[in-house]
Amino acid sequence: MTIYIRIEKLAQKIAEQCREIDRKSIDRLLDAIIDANRIFIAGAGRSGLVAKAFGMRLMHLGFTVYVVGEVITPAIKAKDLIIIVSGSGQTSSILNVMKTSKAKGAKTAAITSFPDSPIGKGADFLVRIKGRTIDDLTEDYTARQLVGDHEPMTPLGTLFELTTMVFLDAVIEELMRRYQKSEDEMREFHTNLE
């Protein structure tokens, strides 16, 4: 299989997964973002990088956004929203962030592959995005072939992260439309210290 065929298959899989995201959960997330006083972003590893990219675009739209763990992140309070990106929905450090946020009265939104995970169950707003996690992997090649599971297109949680990135970029585009923001207006918030 050539690299171009792999790219095409991966793009098709991401599009397929995006079509499976529940529309009502998208609407609830959009409403939560719009209603929030401030938005906090959390995630670990590659999911955290996707979350940070989303936070940056929210900032470009004029939202007040903070990334959990950065030294300038203030205390979370009631009327704030924390958006958590976690494929497994069970990363202990991120689960602790969620528990603290809820204890302080903030609303919690989770983007995960596993609604029944601790993070999925604990969220006020949930968006399920299918993907693979380390727990999904069957080590035995022959066993995978017998049940019809073939070689994965992407390693570990990459499919979740890529699909989440595309989904969150579409959320930004929807917010641009709702707030009637142009790219030029967003550029006003873009860093000028580079």
Residue type present at position 26: I
Buried b (16+ CB within 10 A) or exposed e, 56-66: bbbbbbebebb
Alpha-carbon dihedral of residues 22, 23, 28, 32, nearest 10 degrees?
100
Dihedral class, residue 26 (left if φ above 0, else alpha if ψ from -120 to 50, else beta)? alpha
User: Is 161 marked active-site?
Assistant: yes
Q: In what order do the strands lie in the sheet with 107-112?
A: 65-67, 39-43, 81-85, 107-112, 125-128
* Secondary structure element (H or E) that encloses residue 41, with its range: strand 39-43
Catalytic residue, from 8, 20, 70, 161: name it.
161
Report, in angstroms and rounded to the nearest whole number, the Rg of the chain calculated over CA atoms.
18
Helix ranges (H only) for the chain are: 3-19, 23-35, 45-60, 92-103, 118-122, 141-146, 158-179, 183-187
Could you identify the residue written with the tokens 């997964």?
17
**Which positions are catalytic?**
161
